Amino acid sequence: QVQLVQSGGGLVEPGGSLRLSCATSGFDFSDHYMTWVRQAPGKGLEWLSYISSRGTTIYYAESVKGRFTTSRDNAKNSLFLQMNSLRVEDTAVYYCAKDGYGLSFDSWGQGTLVTVSS
Amino acid sequence: QSVLTQPPSASGTPGQRVTISCFGSSSNIGSNTVNWYQHLPGTAPKLLIYSDKQRPSGVPDRFSGSKSGTSASLAISGLQSEDEADYYCAAWDDSLIGYVFGTGTKVTVL
């Protein structure tokens, strides 16, 4: 079955960097767009980025543009989120997700907590 | 600040029907399909409705979606205790060139 297993969260100081990973299985990873979504404490879901199946097209939310970089390794069925210049307001649970029909996200990772604090 | 607006809360007793609205604009709901997600705290979001009104396999037919113009709705009929969760509408926005989630609606089963 489809599985998305996330890793790489943790505590980081403001201005620091962190890299999240999303290892996938159970579907043809190279055929699917992938996305990152987060939820800050007490807030709603926020879309962050969307990467095409070959990684040639990437869209970012304004809130992370220029600081976060999404990439993928189709040979390893993995998705990545490189987060630089982290801010306190980036504290959130981060999710990776696989695209489905109608620009939906039909399978999600378990989420990983990123805490930005001094 | 989300461009898709939902009521912050909705409630009903077991067996009742609850409807959640989602108001957008011509650049998102008006020109792209709407999806709905259910999110329980501490778990991954779950896709409930895609392409305005389609249910993924395994989603009970108690959940239904509709869209008209720049607004969409999610209806939950035969409300059950396990439906207590946060619900989000979402759509691609052509102006923002990005995906947007609604503000979220917390459903409480009384």
pLDDT tens digits along A51-82: 999 999 999 999 999 999 999 999 999 999 99
The predicted pLDDT at position A100 comes to 93
Tell me if chain B has a CB within 8 Å of the CB of A101: yes
For residue B53, with 0-12 CB atoms within 10 Å meaning exposed, 13-18 middle and 19 or more buried, which class applies?
middle
Backbone phi and psi for residue B83, each to the nearest 5 degrees, phi listed first: -85, -5
**Chain B closest-CA separation from residue A35 CA (Å):** 10
pLDDT-based confidence at B89, cuts 50/70/90? very high
Nearest-by-CA chain B residue for A45:
B101
Contacts of B97 in chain A (CB under 8 A): 59
Q: How many residues does chain B have?
A: 110
The predicted pLDDT at position B1 comes to 62
Q: What is the DSSP-derived secondary structure letter of residue A58?
A: E
Tokens of A109: 């990772």
Backbone phi and psi for residue A103, each to the nearest 5 degrees, phi listed first: 55, 35
d(C-alpha A67, C-alpha A36), whole Å: 14
SS3 A103: helix
Cross-strand partners of B99: B92
Cross-strand partners of B98: B93
Tell me if chain B has a CB within 8 Å of the CB of A56: no
CB contact under 8 A, B101 and A105: no
Nearest-by-CA chain B residue for A41:
B41
Instruction: Evaluate if residue A28 carries a pLDDT over 80.
Output: yes
Over residues B15-73, the pLDDT tens digits come to: 999 999 999 999 999 999 999 999 998 899 999 999 999 999 999 999 999 999 999 99
